[in-house]
A and B are shown apart, each in its own frame.
Chain A
Amino acid sequence: MKTGGRTLGPVLALGFALAGVPALAHRVQKHFKVDSHPVLTLHNSSGNIVIRSWPKQEVQVIANHKSEKVDVNAELKGNMVEVSTHILTDDVTPADLEADYQITVPQETELSIHNDSGLVDVEGVLGDMSFETVAADVNLSRVTGYITVRTVGGSFSCNECSGRIDANSISGAISLIGSESSNVQARSSTGNILLDSDLLPNGLYQLRNYSGQIDVLFSPSDSFDITAISMRGKVENEADLKESPRPERHLPAFARSLFGVYNEGRARLILNSFSGTIVIRRRQ
């Protein structure tokens, strides 16, 4: 017991000392009353941004940052809430830059989010939304609208999304799972692209990368017309396709390609890769 007491004493002292210093030194919380279809814009350098929806006509912004060298600003202009992180001095370390946000918005909010590094996580928002990041990953779930995503190296995943999806990255992977979108354009230079979603009648799905793998999963009840071309890679297919006319564009002899119709060919799938592998496989 004595030994335990000696050990416990300093630990408790340290615990009490740390208790006096909050882990996050700066917390900003603001509420804004908004009309229907508000707009939220956010510019942040580094950190995690979490956005959720609620039934109130109100935007709540909670920001946490550790350093006094950055400042958080949130204000209402008309029906637009503008949130931004400002660097106050040139003398900042990467840790100083970090600001985390937890934002709650009405469901029909339009979003315009810029976050260089860290994470953007959005769930349950039903307005048009655009995201621009450098290294930050973008995770969306159960969102609807015209979704535009631009990343340099960050990945993009969309779970149970609907609306129109336009995703573009250089090295980030793109993953669309359980979505119900009739218009998908996904482009990455070196990132893998996964489409594991319903292929809606008259839907258009264009996936394109330079290298990496493109995976498309289908069910026996799906109906699509497919064009898949890998200039210097491979095309692997598990679908039992009926022949369809080849496009007029001439392909060099070294290219691998696949053209065909599955069931009635209601959706249009256009898959292109330069040196990557395109895989069309049956959903398990």
Chain B
Amino acid sequence: MNCEEFVRQTERWMEGERAPEAREHAIACERCRSLVEDLDAIRLFAPQLGASAAPPERLWVSIRSQLEREGLVREPGWTERLGGWVRLSARPLVTATAGALALALIAVTVATRVQAPRPVATGPAWLTSDQTELSSIDNQLDHVERGAIRSLHTPNPAVREALQENLMIIDRQIARCEKTLEQAPSDENTRDYLYDAYQQKAELLNMMAERSTAAAE
């Protein structure tokens, strides 16, 4: 298993499903091991969250500092903004888990998207082949999205419609940014917009999960 394949299976890893080849790769690759340590911390911490607890700031700080240490984030402001919405939130267990997953996906996205293209030989494949990696991130976010839509049971139709309509808006934004990046792969401004869209999508999915939880209580 290479790094790209490993990242593709992080969602299953988060759910505790760990294939032998994934374990082997995590042992051999320091970067992926470091990533899954953080993901594990998210997964283990989620059940301990009380009804009003937020995901721990120190966890995000840890992820962010790792990204910065490795030179994967050039503008800390981006990640600080991402940390901001995590700190602002106060949400129950299901939401926290969904939020943590979204956060993890975003963290991976940051790692893959903000990296300037490197010569292939200097780093693991998932840090250099943006397009391939994006499809993996998109697939994982789509998976979370399908779950969020399925479990959205709010009695307020205005809320349901607003959430679904705005999710479509964000999806269109992501699609257009990706298309633009195909034309200008190194364009940092478009990357900013793509990053914003991913962040907003994560927040929106978080809100949807929150509404589902509130309705179920």
Contact = CB atoms under 8 A, between A and B. Distances in A.
Contacts of A92: 155
A251 B204 contact: no
A189 B104 CA distance: 23
A170 B200 contact: yes
B157 interface: yes
A77 interface: no
Interface string B172-209: 01001100100010111110110011001001100100
Interface residues of A, number: 37
A144 interface: no
Contact of A46 (B158, B166, B176): B158
A187 interface: yes
A274 interface: yes
A88 to B, nearest CB: 12
Interface residues of B, number: 34
B162 interface: yes
Contacts of A231: 180, 189-190, 193
Contacts of A134: 158-159, 162-163, 207, 211
Contacts of B188: 249-250
Contact of B165 (A46, A153, A154, A252): A153
A135 B189 contact: no
Contacts of A96: 155
Contacts of A251: 189
Given A231-B193, A251-B189, A274-B193, A117 B156 contact: yes
Nearest to B183: A252
Interface string A58-89: 00000000000000000000000000000100
Contacts of A116: 154, 156, 158-159, 211
A97 B200 CA distance: 27
Contacts of B85: 150
A94 interface: yes
A229 B190 CA distance: 11
A104 interface: no
Nearest to A151: B162
A255 interface: yes
Nearest to A112: B90
B134 interface: no
Interface string A27-67: 00000000000000000011000000000000000000000
Interface in A255-280: 255, 272, 274-275
A94 B169 contact: no
Contacts of A190: 169
A157 interface: no
Nearest to A45: B156
Contact of A94 (B155, B184, B186): B155
A92 B155 CA distance: 7
A42 to B, nearest CB: 14
Interface of B: 85, 88, 154-159, 161-163, 165-166, 169-170, 173, 176-177, 180, 184, 186-190, 192-193, 196-197, 200, 203-204, 207, 211
Given A45-B159, A250-B188, 20 more contacts: A94-B155, A134-B162, A134-B163, A134-B207, A135-B158, A135-B159, A153-B166, A170-B169, A170-B204, A171-B169, A187-B196, A189-B169, A189-B173, A190-B169, A229-B189, A231-B193, A250-B186, A250-B187, A251-B189, A252-B184
6 contacts: A46-B158, A117-B158, A134-B207, A231-B193, A274-B193, A275-B176
Interface of A: 45-46, 87, 90, 92-94, 96-97, 116-117, 130, 134-135, 148, 150, 152-154, 170-171, 187, 189-190, 208, 210, 229, 231-232, 249-252, 255, 272, 274-275
